Structures are given as C-alpha cells and as structure tokens.
Chain A
Amino acid sequence: MHPLAALAVVSTGQLTSLSGIDILILVLYFAVVVFIGFYVKGTTNTSEEFFLAGREMSAWIAGLSFVSANLGSLELMGWAGSAYQYGILAMHWYWIGAIPAMLFLGIVMMPFYYISKTHSVPGYLQLRFGEGARGLAAVSFGLMTILMSGVNMYAMAVVMQTVLGWNMTFSIWVGAATVALYVMLGGLRSAIINEVLQFILIWAGAALIPILGLIEAGGWDKLKANIAVNVGNSSYTHMWSTLGHFKDNPMGINWVGIVFGLGAIISFGYWTTDFLVVQRVLSANNLRSAKLAPVIGAAFKMAVPLIVILPGLICLGLMQNGHPMFHLVPAEVAKGNPLLHSYDQVLPLMLIRYCGPGLLGLGITALVAGFMSGMAGNVSAFSTVWTYDIYGAYLNKKANDKHYVLMGRVSTVVGMLISIGTAYLVMNAASIMDYVQALFSFFIAPLFGTVILGMLWKRATKWGGFYGLLAGTLSSIGMFLYTSTGTAAHKAHALSVVALSADAQPMAENMFRALWSWLICVAVTVIVSYMTTPKTDAELNGLVYGATIIPHDGSVGLLQKPIFWAGVVAAVFVGLNILFF
C-alpha cells in the first residue's frame, strides 16, 4: 500500500486529521497570541506607539520581525512547491533574490528612512518628491496590500480544507478575527511580538521535516543522486551552472533574468520599498539598530531554504522500487481529484509523512503562524498607510493624536473585513488570484526606481519622481496586458518579445517585465528631472545622499558595526552560492 494513501482520508479528500494533542498545541498558540494583544494594549496609546511600536525595538526584535512578516503561508507552501517543480533554482528567491537587497537596505538606505523620521515609505516620497508621488504610492500600496491579504487568507483556507478538511469559512474567519483582534489592540507592537514568536514556532514546527528527510535519503549527496534519477538529469540541483540559456534549466530562465530582473530589481524593490517589511525596521530604537536589523534578518533569511526549499527537494528525491514516490501536478490539474496532489501541497505532505500526533500539531501551528504573521504584516502596514498617508494627508489633516490612533484601530478591522471580502471573491472566481498577485508586482519595480533615485541623486525633482513612477507603473501594466491577453500564439510571441527569447517561460516574463518597468521609470525620472527645477541642498538635508550629514550610529568597536556583520553575511552568501553552483 502506498504510504501516503494509508494516511489520507480519501473519502473526504482531506489528507489527515488532528488528534487531541494536536488540537491542544493549536489552542495554546491561539491563547498566547491573543493574550499578547491584550497585554501590550496598555502601552499602545499614542500614534507613535500604535504605528511604529514606540520606536523602541532592539535590532534583534526588529530583524526577526522583518524576516517573519515576509514568511507568510503563500511564501512557505508556494516556494516548497516551486522547489519540487523547479528544483534548487527556487533557492534564488531566498539568496540573490533577498540577501543583497536586505544588506543594501540596512547599510545604505536605512539611514535616510530613519533620520528623516518618516512613518512610512509613501511618507518618505512626500518629503522627497511631494504629494503626487506620495498619493500614487499610498493608494496603490493600500489597495494592493489589502487585496493580497485576502488572497493569502483564501490560500490558507484552501490548504486547511485540503489537509484537515476544515470548512473554508471557519478558517478564514477564525484566522482573520484573531489577527484583527491582536493588531487592533496592540498595533505594530503586538504584530511585532507575535511575528517574533511566530518565526520561532515556524522553525519549531517545520525543522524536523528536512532533518528526518535527509536521514531517510541518506544525506545530501544521496538525495541529489536520487533527484537526478527521478527527473532524468542533474539540472535540478545546480543553482547557476544551468542558467546559461533558457532551455538548460526547468524554470526556462537565464542568468540575466535572475541577476538583473530578480536580484537587482524585484528583490531590491520588495525588500527596500515595500512598507510591509520596512515598517518593522522603522520601529528600531536607534540608528545602529535600524542598520543592523536588516543584516540580522538577512542572516536568518539565508537559513529559511532549509525549511522551505529542502522539503520540496526531499519530496522530489523520494523513491519507491526505483521510481519516484510522488507525482505532484499543477493545482488546476489536481482540483477535484482527491487522488492527485498539487505542488503547493509538498510541505503538508512531508509534514504528514514524518510527523505523528503532537509533532503534526506543531507543524500545523507553524503553517497557521506563517499565515498569521503574513496577515498581520499586511494589515498593520495598511492601517499605517491609510491613517497617515491617505486619511491624515487628504481627508482629515487636523485631527489630534488620539483620533489617529482610533482611526488606526478602526482601519485595522475594516481592512480585515475587506480582505475577507476579497477572499470570498477569489473563492468564487479563482482567476482573480493570479491578477491580484500580478497587480502587486506592477508597483514594486518602479517604486524602487523612484525611491533609489530620490535617495542617491540630488538632481531628481518632484515632477521627475512623479512621472517616473507613473510611467514605470503604466508600462508594467501594459506589458502584463500584452503578454496575458489574446490568442495562445500571441501570448507566446509577446512573452518572447518581453523576455528576449522564444524559449522563455512565464517566470522569466515576471523578471524581465520588472527590469523594463524599472528602466522606464529611471529614464523618465532622469529626463523629466533635467527639464524641471531641483530642490536646494538645504531642502534635501536628511533625505538625499550628498546633501545629508549622516550621524554616527553609535557603534563602538568592530563587532558592533553593522557594516562588519553585513560583510560577514555577504561572505557566507557568496560561499553558499559557490557551494551549490
């Protein structure tokens, strides 16, 4: 009998069910996160406390929260599935697609975010480029964040239904209500404390999978050999050597797309300008902590593939009688057939394989924790941008601090309700999910172009920033429509135009679309800036490199310097890439 079949409750389509001890572990988790919300409510009275956690977090707390807010359920299960589908290439999204950008944020950009005393990324754009750029960034960020939150919510409910047979409405409302409660009570402080806790629990629940999986495989070398046998070649276990041409690797991408599209644009766009993650670092208690937090986050981010990518590879390498043990398929193929499992189910499948009662509850708690940390990140960032950059900037400029805190609590709940609405919308029309995820990517690459020019180039002007951001965003939307509408032949042709190769796959299109939209944003910003009048150095003090005297961060000795630790992380990053070349 197939081991998995023995564990699956095929009649209902669910993979497993929880025992009493699993439920106890899950209930303990919910009790603690809600308790934290009530516990910190007493110290969350001012807007600085509610939206920026009083700017009193240490580098370790801000750094762990920074990386945890990104470790949502889509991230955990989606990339484990991608590792099964594409092999070790998925690791690029954790290393070159994160580490250089995180280090750059800490060492180069954080001083400007921090000393400008901005409360948000749109807030920085307002200081640097004026209301136009801020309004565009705030509205697009607010809208996309809340829609993404709904998509995450739906994705998690699907997993809970598939794995445990839970009713989707139950999963959506219990998860959303818990997150809304603790964020509404304790604001960013409560979100950050829970994110640190969730990060630890994600590791506690998921780390056994790679450990036991490697024991079963007989070690890393044996696992690589098994994967090569199962897929028929060795391209699934090399990170760089197969990136010479689109045809040489399972992802259908080349090194230009990975290095410049992912590593230089998408990654920098997300990690340095997405307020969801930057907000965590803004809560740091001093400049040194603000610089060090992304470096600490980067060190932990490098380790995340152990619990995300490795389980996908282990599943890919499992054999039975000389043949692959699992045959996972795309979600649209698996839908409606309980005997088939989709790529995204890799992590739950491995969890069920290696973890019995108790450990299974811990693993499910890890998945729920990932879901809640991602959701709390979205909703706390949304309420900040809504209150400061939309409501406070355009609708009610003269309210007192107490009113803005109340608006933060109300917008947390309203934002969550909109997310729930989005989740139901996606439930009834699944194709919306793809569009929402694509929409999010429209703004990231151009926003990075605007912010980086704003920070590093004194000559960039208000109108240059606004029109550059607008042109980059519109061009990204235009390319998306060009490659996703029309006949199949047209789509294939459009993809080859955008990604510069007839062999390119959809993943390459995302990378190249980001690259082009960033270049268009930068080109328009530069051209318009030279046609308009720049601000004086005095006006740019605290906002731009070359017009700002950056204060000393207070570090004493080599071991306290953020740049030293950034160097250590960078060296490990290079070493790992060589090791898995």
Chain B
Amino acid sequence: CDDGFEEENTNPDASNQVDPEYMFTKAIYDALNNSTGTVYEFGAGGFVQHFATYLEVPGLGDKYLYISGSYPYAFFNGAYLDAINEIDKIIYATEGVEGLSNQNAIAQIWKVYTYHRLTDLYGMVPYTEATTAFSEANYSPVYDTQEAIYMDMLNTLQSASGSLDANQPSFGNGDLIYNGNVDQWSRFANSLMLRLAMRLTKVNPTLAEEWAQKAISAGIIAEPSNNAIIDYPGGQVINSNPIAFQLRNNNYSESNQGSSNTEGGKFADTFISYLKENNDPRLSSFAAVWVNGSQKTDPELQQGMPNGLVNRPENFPGLSEPNLNTLLSLNSSLMVLGSAEMNLLLAEASARGWTSGDAQSYYLEGIRDAMNSLEGLYGNEAAVSEEEVNTYIASQSLTGSLEEQMETIHTQFWVSVFPDEIEVYSNWRRTGYPELTPVNVTGNLTGGTIPRRLTYPPSEISVNTENYEAAVSQQGLDLFTTRVWWDVEQ
C-alpha cells in the first residue's frame, strides 16, 4: 500500500546533494549580507559614531537604548542559520574527498572569517558543537569560551593555509573573491591571522606577538592586487552590495530626498566633523547632502547629526547621508580584507617592535591604499585623485609614544576600514581609538557608556537554556556592558 511513496515524498524542486561550489558562493554572500542594517547602521556603526539616528526603535547604536526588534541579535541568528550552516555542509561534503582538498581548506578559512565576526560581537558562542544537529543530532550546542575559539581559529588558519596546493583543483567562478586562486587564499588566511593576532594585544600580548609574526612571515595581503574584494553584479537582492542595499532600504533613497527617512538615520556628526577638520578627501567619496533634489558632495555643505537625539532636528533634511552613487550603489564592490588594514596593523606591529620595517611607512601606505581603493570599490565619483592623496599624506605623520602612535593609527583605521563596521567596532574596543564621547539619554542600558558587546537572542534563552546560562555565568551577565575575553578593561 505504499508503492511509489518514496518518489511521492521527494521534493521535485530540490536536489539531494550539496554542490560545494554553488553553496560556497551562497556562504560568501551570507557571511557578508548578515544584518547589514541592524549591525552596521543601527548597531556597531552607531557605537563608533559613524551613524546616528534620532528615532528610538533603531536607537541601539546611537543611544544604547533597546526598544524592540532584533537589533542586538539578528546577526547572531543570521550567522548560524545561513553562512555557518552552509560552510559546514561544504566542509562535510569535501572532507577527505580526493580532488576537493583545496575546496575544503578554503571553506575552513572562510569559516574562520565568518566566526571571528560573530565571537567579536558576542564573546562566548557555540563553536565546537554548533551546527551538529544534522550530523550528530545535537540540539543544544554548548558555548565555547572566546579564548578557545580564538585558539582554534588561529590553528585552523595555519593548517588550512598550509594544506592549500596549487596543483590540485579548486573552486572556480563560485569563489567570488579569488576565483579559487590558492596563493591568494593563503595570503587571505595569513592576513586574517594577523587581524586575529592583533586583537589579542590587551589580553595576551605575548600570544599576539607570536601569531602576528607567524602571519607576517607567511605572507599577508600587502598589495592592493591581493585585496579580498567581492564585486556585486546587482539585480537580485542577494547579488547586490548588502550594505548599500540595507542602507537604501532603511533610510536613504532618491525619493526620500533626505527628509522622509524610515529609521531616522544620518551620518554622525563625529564622523563628518572629523573628515572635514582633517580635509580628508574621502568625505566627498562617502557623504552627500540633498540640495534642490540632488545630492551634493561639496565638503563645506556636509554636516552630520549628533548622536543621542530623541527628536527629529529641524535641519534634518540638510544633514549628510551616504552618497547614493558611491557607497550606496547596489553594484558597488565590498572590501572583505585589504592591504590598507594590513598596512595599518603592520604599522602598529612595527611600533611595538614586533616586525621590521618603518611604522610610518606602513601607516602612510595604509592611507594610500585605502584612498586608492575607493574608485575600484565605488566608481569614478568616489575616486580620490593622486594629488589629493599626496596632499593628505603630506599632512600625516606617525610620531610620539606608542600610545600616541596607536591613536594616530587607529583613528585612521576608523576612517580607512569604514564601512566594515564590525571590524571598526572591534578595533575600537581593542585600542580605544578614536576617543569617542558617549551619549547619555534617559533610560539607556549602559549608564551612558558605549556598549562592549551585543546580547544573545531570546530564542537561546528559551530553547538552549542550560548552555546559555552556563555561558552567562562564565562570561558575565548578558548585557551590553559586559566585555568579551579579549576586551580587557585597562
């Protein structure tokens, strides 16, 4: 009585096999399109005062208020449900399969990239037991300490990078970053290793130095030609630059003309003022104001919105927004990891005496690479001319004590790595630069200090209760003020 039932119960619109390449493309997209609105504009981007919003509902980043919505935890949910689950499927499908070792190694590197952003935002997260429900029927993954996760990520980068073999097949076009080029992936792994190593300067400088040196000697992304960049063709939402898409969706569009604004967002005054005061040519690459129905990029017109407002300011329509033709172009490109950041980290490593080379040279090279990358990422309108680059660089120097140099490097990092807000926020927590003045509105959840992490989703509290509670008892209360492992208070 059940003849033909197997076929009847097979989805005609799905296949029963993972295609590692097609799923890898999805995993790349998903790692980067995760919660770009909630984290970038209304979370981390507000904490570091790149963005401001006068409304209260999206006011987590701006005012450290939490009214409703998924602002604190959307990233957590999105990471596991999409990118991490997908990358684990690829690793599972390619593990030990002849001819797929490079795919497996690249997937492992991408997994580290995906996880480090997650743990940097939340601290302890499920890692070793995450996404094992399918293979091992584990429905309640334990939380690993951030220390353990960092150690494993560093080791994974080292081993995966070491196992790449140019003579073996690799991903093809499905690898949106390097087209399967294993040498480039090796540099990417080492660069990520440097990023992670430098993150440990507060909590364990020795370890930081050890891994930074490992990374540098193995070869990092030092030239713009090595940059990890994803081009977005536009079209479907998933094929569009996710930051541009979400910011347009939330606030900025031709029709709104700067005035009617869904979530009440603008560039923050802190960010715009800094760029103006330093005659930074990138101001006109990023920012624009609406004048008579079109966006004007003239630096003197630019003005940001103060953080911490609870009412719409009178001059709201005339405040600076992201430029629709550059930063918010749906087919603009996205910098995943680039030489500008690496050079700035090398400048710090050099200033600490962890590597050879001149700290100031690295610093200036970082700025140059950052400015030169804009045209490639955002098109002609974002281009910074050679003359402007040189003028700006001529005004810069890296001198003074280590602390003074740190301030110079990481204030520059705050501009140069924009709009990778998760990385900028992590770097700010580690270094404390640039010095930002927190706001203190009634009812804020941090007592008027900038949050040190995001909070876990309510679903973990209700359906992964024991592990959640164990994590909270180990890490500290699930609050915005609790610090993650590497963010030692100094």
A, B bound: no
**Which residues of A pack against B, CB within 8 Å?**
none
